[in-house]
């Protein structure tokens, strides 16, 4: 089951008129974007078990328009009747969205605290925040900084340092739509927004989109639908020296070939990245000074194969970052995303006969592009969790 949460900015500034669709308001544009997302998502067979939630910037509990118990019909009805009269309490609204997602996790045991992290035990959730990017405001005034409240009364919340989990990502559609059409034409690339919400999205493994036209909005919705995948986010960090340059690659013909190899299981690199995929490949293949692949936060796709009981299966968990002590009365808190280190030392694949193993696919990233550009499909780089040794 995939949980898709729409967090709509219902502050008064969403009453602003735009040039889109006969001078509609930003709130109308947000509602239309949600409806379009749902229609496109429902074309996929995997959407049959999706659960949709609708949250706003209002005070709790009025902020929950469609939660765990409401069906899609209730969701759509509440969406159509959304007013906007609250303040831009974005930090509190995002925190409440994570709290609602985490309310059942401790009782379900999906996080397996103290037993390692099992990627195949997941409750995939995507939060889509739609806002106008206006100043943040509360009853005490206007604030420039995005602040996420860290206090939490949910049982088990003290076992994770962050309010989110590794299978939860935040994406933000920031509507920078004006009252008159933009003079400059779209370049086809959607930049990240310059507001403080972008950093929060990046921390969870998501990203923000700065939208300045209706065409760009539709492009971002298509991109978001493609990002609804089963998986968990992991921090990858390089240790040791860089690998020696490969000897079997010529500079002239590797870029196009790597671009073709980046399509895996029907998934392609996101066309809305700040840099085009081709430019990024050129940086990785020809720019020796680029080190963005040394440390990156990316999702690994969890295969959707299921057992007879209907849920994904796997064999090996990712170790905890500590060694459990029998005498310890409490478990130390873990980071939301495990830190996996890799060494750029070429090794032969080691597959022991009759010993089961898990195989995961890493989403397109500077790291995957760097590895593919080396054209060494028969070698491996070993990974480990250093603190667990």
What's the per-residue H, E or C state across the chain?
A: CCEEEEEECCEHHHHCECCCCCCCEHHHHHHHHHHHHHHHHCCCHHHHHCEEEEEECCCCCCCEEECCCCCHHHHHHHHHCCCCCECCCHHHHHHHHHHHHHCCHHHHCCCCCCCCECCCCCCCEEEEEEECCCCEEECCEEECCCCCCCCCCCCCHHHECCCCCCCEEEEEEEECCCCCCCCCCCCCCCCCCCCCHHHHHHHHCCCEEEECCHHHHHHHHHHHHHHCCCEEEEEEEEECCCCCCCCCCCCCCHHHHHHHHCCECCECCCCCCCCCHHHHHHHHHHCCCCCHHHEEEEEEECCCCECCCCCECCCCCECCCCCCCCCCCCCCCECCCCEEEEECCCECCCCCCCCCCCCCEECCCHHHHHHHHCCCCCCECCEECHHHC
Residue 269 is predicted with a pLDDT of: 47
Q: What is the mean pLDDT of residues 364-370?
A: 91
- Which comes out higher in pLDDT, residue 288 or 54? 54
Rounded-to-integer distance, Cα 167 and Cα 165, Å? 6
Lowest mean pLDDT among 80-84, 215-219, 326-330, 381-385: 326-330
Write down the pLDDT at residue 64: 93
Phi and psi at residue 97, to the nearest 5°: -65, -45
Q: Is residue 295 reached through a cis peptide bond, with omega within 30 degrees of 0 on the bond before it? A: no
What mean pLDDT is reported for the chain?
Answer: 83
Per DSSP, 63 falls in state T
Q: In sequence order, what E strands does the chain have?
A: 3-8, 51-56, 64-66, 125-131, 136-138, 141-143, 168-175, 208-211, 231-239, 295-301, 339-343, 361-362, 383-384
CB 155 within 8 A of CB 33: no
What is the per-residue pLDDT across 247-266, written as a single tens digit (0 to 9) for each?
Answer: 755 444 444 343 334 444 44
pLDDT at 323: 81
119/253: higher pLDDT: 119
Average pLDDT, integer, range 87-108 = 88
Domain 3-229 has CATH 3.40.50.410: yes
Domain boundaries, the chain: 3-229
Residue 308: predicted pLDDT: 58
**Percent of the chain having pLDDT more than 90?**
39
Say yes or no to pLDDT of 74 above 60: yes
Give per-residue pLDDT as tens, 293-310: 999 999 999 987 655 555
pLDDT tens per residue, range 145-155: 777 787 777 77
Split at pLDDT 50, 70, 90, the class of 314 is confident
- Choose between 282 and 155: higher pLDDT: 155
The reported pLDDT for the residue numbered 258 is 39
Instruction: Provide, rounded to the nearest whole percent, the portion of the chain with pLDDT above 70.
Output: 85
Structure confidence at residue 292 (pLDDT): 86
The pTM score is 0.84
pLDDT (average), residues 234-242: 92
> For the residues 42-51, what does the mean pLDDT come to?
88
Position 338 scores a pLDDT of 93
At 172-215, the pLDDT tens digits run 999 998 877 776 666 678 888 888 899 999 999 999 999 988 88
């Amino acid at each position: 089951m995939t949980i898709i949460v729409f967090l709509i900015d219902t502050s008064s500034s969403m009453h602003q008129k735009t040039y889109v669709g006969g001078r509609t308001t930003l709130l109308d544009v947000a509602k239309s974007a949600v409806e379009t997302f749902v229609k496109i998502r429902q074309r996929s067979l995997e959407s049959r078990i999706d659960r949709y939630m609708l949250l706003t910037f209002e005070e709790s509990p009025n902020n929950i328009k469609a939660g765990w118990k409401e069906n899609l019909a209730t969701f759509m009805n509440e969406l159509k009747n959304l007013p906007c009269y609250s303040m831009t309490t974005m930090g509190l609204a995002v925190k409440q969205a994570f709290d609602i997602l985490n309310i059942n996790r401790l009782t379900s045991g999906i996080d397996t605290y103290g037993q390692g992290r099992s990627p195949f035990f997941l409750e995939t959730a995507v939060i889509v925040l739609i806002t106008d990017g206006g100043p943040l405001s509360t009853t005490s005034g206007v604030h420039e900084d995005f602040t996420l409240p860290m206090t939490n009364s949910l049982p088990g919340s003290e076992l994770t340092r962050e309010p989110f989990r590794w299978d939860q990502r935040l994406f933000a559609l920031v509507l920078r739509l004006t009252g008159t059409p933009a003079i400059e034409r779209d370049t086809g690339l959607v930049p990240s927004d310059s507001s403080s919400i972008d950093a929060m999205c990046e921390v969870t493994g998501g990203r923000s989109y700065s939208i300045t036209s209706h065409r760009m909005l539709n492009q971002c919705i298509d991109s978001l639908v493609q990002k609804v995948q089963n998986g968990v986010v992991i921090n990858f960090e390089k240790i040791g020296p860089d690998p020696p340059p490969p000897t079997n690659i010529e500079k002239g013909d590797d870029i196009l070939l790597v671009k073709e190899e980046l399509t895996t299981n029907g998934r392609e690199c996101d066309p809305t990245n700040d840099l085009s995929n081709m430019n990024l490949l050129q940086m990785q293949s020809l720019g020796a000074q680029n080190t963005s692949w040394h440390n990156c936060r990316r999702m690994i796709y969890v295969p959707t194969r299921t057992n007879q009981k209907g849920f994904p299966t796997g064999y090996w968990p990712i170790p905890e970052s500590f060694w459990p002590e029998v005498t310890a009365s409490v478990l130390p808190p873990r980071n939301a995303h495990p830190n996996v280190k890799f060494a750029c030392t070429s090794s032969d694949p080691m597959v022991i006969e009759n010993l089961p193993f898990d195989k995961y696919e890493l989403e397109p990233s500077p790291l995957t592009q760097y590895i593919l550009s080396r054209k060494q499909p028969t070698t491996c780089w070993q990974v480990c969790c250093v603190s667990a040794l």
